[in-house]
Amino acid sequence: MRTERRSALKKLLLSAVGVTGISFFANATESAPEKEAGNITTVDDVPLFSGHTKLGNTVFVAGKGAHIAPFTIEAHTDIVLKELEAELIKAGSSMAKVVKVTVYLNDIADYKGMNEVYKGRFGKKPPVRTTIAVAKGGVPGDSLVEMDCIAYI
C-alpha cells in the first residue's frame, strides 16, 4: 500500500513538473534572447558572444575586463564597472537594477582594492556577489579583474 502511494505521488509530481517545464520552455521561446546591432563581439567576422542578452525582463551581461594601462586594481575595477554600466544602459537597465555580480580577480590580494572602488556603485541596495580568485593563467586579456552581472529591466 505504501509503495503504491509513493508511486502515485511520483507520477503526479512528474506530470506536474512536465507540464510546468513545457510551459516554461514555451514561454522562453516566445521571448527568446534578442540580438542587437553592435551587441555581438566577433573574431574574424565570426560571432563569438553577445555583450548582453535578454530573456523576459532579465538582462545577462557578459564578463567585462580592463585590457589597458594603468595596471592597478583600482583603475581596472573602475574601467570594468563603467563598461558594465554602459552595457546595462544599452540593454535598457541600470546599475541600481543589478541583482547578481560575479567578480573574477587575477590575484586575491587585490580584493581590498577592488572593494574600495566597487562599493556604492550599485545604489542603496547592492546586489549579491560572488568573488573568485582565478587559477593559473589569470583573467583573460591581462585584466586584473573581470565582472559579469544579471539585472532586471
Domain limits for position 58: 50-152
The residue-averaged pLDDT of 91-120 equals: 97
Whole-structure pTM value? 0.73
| Percent residues over pLDDT 90 in the chain | 58
- The answer to whether residue 42 is domain-embedded is no
Q: How many domains does the chain have?
A: 1
> 95-107 pLDDT, tens per residue?
999 999 999 999 9
Taking the C-alpha atoms of residue 99 and residue 82, their distance in angstroms, rounded to an integer, is 17
- CATH of residue 132's domain is 3.30.1330.40
The DSSP code for 134 is -
- The answer to whether residue 38 is domain-embedded is no
Q: Is the dihedral of CA 14, 57, 42, 71 positive or negative?
A: negative
- The answer to whether residue 19 is domain-embedded is no
- The answer to whether residue 100 is domain-embedded is yes
10: β partners: none
- The answer to whether residue 5 is domain-embedded is no
Share the mean pLDDT of the chain.
81
- The answer to whether residue 20 is domain-embedded is no
